[in-house]
C-alpha cells in the first residue's frame, strides 16, 4: 500500500444553516488536529450559543482520517454525530471538526428528520468553506557534530525545509518538519555523513 503524501482539509472556519419546523441548526466547520483543540472550539461555540439545546459534533484526524469521533449530545442515538461524520467522509476531508448547534422549535422531527437536518447543516458548512490539499508532514530530529553544520544547513536550504527549533554546540540538534514525499530525498542527501543521527517523531 502506498504512503499517503497529501490530504484534504478546510481552510478557516465556515458556517452552515438549516431550518426545519421551527428548529434551527447552525453548523461550523473548522480546521482542527487534536482532541484538546476540538474541546476549545466546542467550548467557544457553547458559550456563543448558551441557549441552544444541543451541540452535536464529529471530527476526523490524521492523514487517512483514521482517528475520528461522533457525538450526539443528548439527541437520539446516531441521529446527529454519525450523519455529521458521514459528511466529513463524503468530502474526504480530515484534520477537521464540524459542530452543529440546535435551537429547538417546539416540534419533534423524529430520528429521520434529525439525521437529515444534521447532515444537511454539516454539508452546508463544508460547502461554504474552502477545501485545500496539504502535504503530509513528518517531524525529525537531526543530531550531528558542529563540523558538519555547513553541509547539513546547505541540504536543508536546498530542500526548503522548515526548522522548528535548533540547538548549536559541540553536538548540534535540529528539529524540523518536512513533507513526507521529501523524506527519502533528505536521507539520500545526508547519507554521506556517517556520524549524523536521524530520529523520527
Q: Cα–Cα–Cα angle for 17, 61, 80, nearest 5°?
A: 35
The CATH number of whichever domain residue 188 belongs to comes to: 3.30.70.240
Q: For the stretch 187-198, what's the b/e string if a residue is b when 16 or more beta carbons lie within 10 angstroms of its beta carbon? A: eebbeebeebee
- Tell me: do 130 and 142 sit in the same domain: no
Domain boundary pick from 106, 134, 162:
134
pLDDT digits (tens, 9 = 90+) for 143-201: 999 999 999 999 999 999 989 999 998 899 999 999 988 998 999 999 999 889 999 87
- Number of domains the chain is built from: 2
- Tell me: do 13 and 107 sit in the same domain: yes
> Would 1 be classed as within a structural domain?
no
Q: Is the pLDDT of residue 16 over 80?
A: yes
Q: Is the pTM of this model over 0.85?
A: no
Domain encompassing residue 98: 6-134
- Tell me: do 130 and 144 sit in the same domain: no
Amino acid at each position: 500500500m502506498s504512503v499517503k503524501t497529501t490530504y484534504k482539509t478546510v481552510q478557516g472556519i465556515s458556517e452552515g444553516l438549516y431550518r426545519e419546523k421551527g428548529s434551527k441548526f447552525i453548523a461550523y466547520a473548522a480546521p482542527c488536529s487534536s482532541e484538546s483543540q476540538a474541546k476549545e472550539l466546542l467550548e467557544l461555540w457553547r458559550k456563543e450559543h448558551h441557549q441552544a439545546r444541543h451541540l452535536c459534533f464529529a471530527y476526523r484526524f490524521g492523514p487517512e482520517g483514521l482517528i475520528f469521533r461522533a457525538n450526539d449530545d443528548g439527541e437520539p442515538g446516531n441521529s446527529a454525530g454519525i450523519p455529521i461524520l458521514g459528511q466529513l467522509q463524503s468530502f474526504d476531508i480530515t484534520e477537521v471538526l464540524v459542530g452543529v448547534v440546535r435551537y429547538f422549535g417546539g416540534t419533534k422531527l423524529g430520528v429521520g428528520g434529525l439525521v437529515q437536518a444534521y447532515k444537511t447543516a454539516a454539508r452546508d458548512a463544508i460547502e461554504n468553506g474552502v477545501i485545500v490539499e496539504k502535504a503530509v508532514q513528518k517531524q525529525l530530529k537531526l543530531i550531528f557534530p558542529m563540523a558538519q553544520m555547513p553541509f547539513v544547513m546547505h541540504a536543508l536550504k536546498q530542500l526548503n525545509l522548515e526548522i522548528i527549533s535548533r540547538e548549536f554546540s559541540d553536538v548540534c540538534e535540529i528539529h524540523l518538519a518536512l513533507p513526507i514525499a521529501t523524506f527519502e530525498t533528505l536521507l539520500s542527501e545526508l547519507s554521506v555523513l556517517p556520524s549524523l543521527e536521524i530520529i523520527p517523531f
